[in-house]
Amino acid sequence: MRILTGKQFIEEQNETQNKARNDEQLDQLVLDIIDQVRSKGDESLRALTKQYDGVQVDDLVVSAAEFSEARELVSQDFIDALHQAHENIHSFHKNQTEKSWFTNEGNGILLGQKVSPLDSVGIYVPGGKAAYPSTVLMNVIPAKLAGVPTIAISTPPQQDRKINPHVLVAAEVAGVDRVYKVGGAQAIAALAYGTDSVQKVVKIVGPGNAFVACAKKWVFGDVAIDMIAGPSEICIVADDTAIPRFAAADLLSQAEHDEQATALCITTSESFAKSLQAEVQLQMKTLERRSIIEQSIQNQGRIILVDSMAEATDLVNQLAPEHLQLMVEQPFEKMLTIKNAGAIFLGNYSPEALGDYVAGPNHTLPTSGTATFSSPLGVYDFIKRSSIIQYSEQALERVSKDIMTLANAEGLTAHADSIKKRTGE
């Protein structure tokens, strides 16, 4: 894991960004997949699942028998942990619920905002390199709290043609209505446009690989999406109070997601940087997903030496990382200076993995710098708001002149006429 100065890191970042380009080949491949799904429906889903996952699936919808079988395949410890996580996530997200509101001051004017849940949501749950029952909870629970009546999950099948049992049990605990055995760009297309087996939804949420992210980009507008998520990211800000063994473990925990994951540490301490570098190499040797981790650390892992905590803060706000850990003295005070981060973890005993599973806040977070303008997934992503306006005849007369003046200034005389017809002015 290379150690760079802040200036060297910025130069490296700029060079990487200058080399970046749109992957036209991926775009075309994904567009072809979307076209196949729209034209051939279930037939294309089976063919594409065979092509990309190497699995021949006949029934695309998980049956009740498969749910029953899944319950027998997972441990009681897993079920207990799942229920505890569900309780914590539910408790946190319940604070995000919104209510309709109205104002009526007795002057003939009623104004307000009507909050309604989305009609249906499709949640993509990744598969392949790992199973993600936690992602099920993180996406389904806020949708349930918002009142979404129809919630479906789509996730890639295993080689035995079935869905990972931990994912199925999580879906059952969370209250999912349907689970589809479809992954990749074809799953996004099916949820966006519908097939005989897959019901069309109005919004698609959930993380995925490059194919999934690209497909979400192309179906956006026909359906809503949460975000176009990139590879996972962690950034640790550390001073002399940080524990190298802990920081190394946290960096490696994100590096194991995939080879494109980014693990960074910004520190004001050269001695800590060298200790961390040694710890990363030591711990990496014993981890099960070592081959993935090594590529991630070699390609994207960096330790960045800065002169001050103010410089560290500026760099964090520029990077806008998905996960930020403040392993520093007085972390709460330092947190107040952070403007751009998906989730912020305070102190040596608040590891990123805590947020992934049981703390309660959502782990579906903005990546690739989008934390500058985006927020974690929440209940607010599953509702829509309608403005309510009601004026009495007398109330309309009081503002009619202003309306007509503004409408005429814009050259929209029919607007003005719609008022004149009512007031006779």
Select which of 93, 322, 352, 363 is catalytic.
Answer: 322
Please write down the HEC assignment for all residues of the chain: CEEEEHHHHHHHHHHHHHHCCCCHHHHHHHHHHHHHHHHHCHHHHHHHHHHHHCCCCCCCECCHHHHHHHHHHCCHHHHHHHHHHHHHHHHHHHCCCCCCEEEECCCCEEEEEEEEECCEEEEECCCCCCCCHHHHHHHHHHHHHHCCCEEEEECCCCCCCCCCHHHHHHHHHHCCCEEECCCHHHHHHHHHHCCCCCCCCCEEECCCCHHHHHHHHHHECCEEECCCCCCCEEEEEECCCCCHHHHHHHHHHHHCCCCCCEEEEEECCHHHHHHHHHHHHHHHCCCCCHHHHHHHHHHHCEEEECCCHHHHHHHHHHHCCCEEEEECCCHHHHHCCCCCCCEEEECCCCCHHHHHHCCCCCCCCCCCCHHHCCCCCCHHHHEEEEEEEEECHHHHHHHHHHHHHHHHHCCCHHHHHHHHHHHCC
Beta bridge partners of 18: none
CA 86, 378, 112: angle at the middle one, nearest 5?
125
CB 157 within 8 A of CB 53: yes
CB neighbour class for 103 (10 Å; exposed up to 12, middle 13-18, buried from 19): exposed
For this structure, is 322 an active site residue?
Answer: yes
Rg of the chain, C-alpha, whole Å: 25
- CA separation for the pair 317, 372 (Å, rounded): 8
Q: What are the backbone dihedrals phi and psi of residue 238, each rounded to the nearest 5 degrees, phi first?
A: -130, 145
The catalytic position among 256, 323, 352, 363 is: 323
Catalytic-residue membership of 323: yes
- Annotated catalytic residues are 322-323
